[in-house]
């Protein structure tokens, strides 16, 4: 069901302050900057900032797993004992996200993103640590 990691989202009560901090830490500006979401591209993956106003889910960071179909993935997770935190929602350009809470309390995010393309892998090193 999971296609691989895609996105880490940090929910924030102060979007401007969080954007300034992450811009300084990352050394680059966001590629997407709106009052409802700020996104950075880091090595082909997404680091997102999401304002907490109006959200019902948890405040801590959420990791989103790529899926082919968000509705099917959520149904499968619910059948395995999870409960819905944030229902499937279209967030723009055909991208759909949702979060569920696993029976142990872990928050699991899913993202259906028809635009996502894996970056080319780095060359394989023949040395230790590969």
Cα separation, 94 vs 114, in Å, equals 7
* pLDDT beneath 50, residues of the chain: none
Cα separation, 77 vs 81, in Å, equals 7
Query: Percent of the chain beyond pLDDT 70?
Result: 86
Q: What is the pLDDT of residue 43?
A: 83
Question: Which tens digits make up the pLDDT trace of 88-101?
Answer: 999 888 999 999 99
Residue with token string 């696993």: 102
pTM value? 0.74
Please tell me the total number of residues recorded for the chain in this structure: 130
Q: Over the Cα atoms of the chain, what is R_g? A: 16
> Which domains are present in the chain?
4-112 (3.10.180.10)
List the structure tokens of 77.
């997770």
Q: What are phi and psi of 23, to 5 degrees?
A: -60, -40
């Amino acid at each position: 069901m999971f296609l691989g990691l895609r996105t880490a989202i940090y929910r924030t009560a102060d979007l401007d302050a969080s954007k300034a901090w992450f811009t300084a830490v990352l050394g680059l500006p966001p590629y997407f900057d709106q009052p409802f979401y700020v996104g950075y591209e880091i090595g082909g993956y997404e680091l997102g900032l999401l304002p907490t106003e109006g959200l019902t889910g948890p405040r801590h960071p959420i990791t989103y797993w790529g899926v082919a179909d968000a509705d099917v993935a959520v149904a499968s997770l619910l059948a395995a004992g999870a409960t819905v935190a944030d229902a499937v929602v279209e967030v723009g350009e055909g991208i759909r996200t949702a979060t569920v809470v696993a029976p142990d309390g872990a928050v699991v995010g899913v993202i259906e993103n028809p635009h996502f393309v894996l970056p080319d892998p780095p060359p394989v090193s023949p040395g230790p640590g590969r």
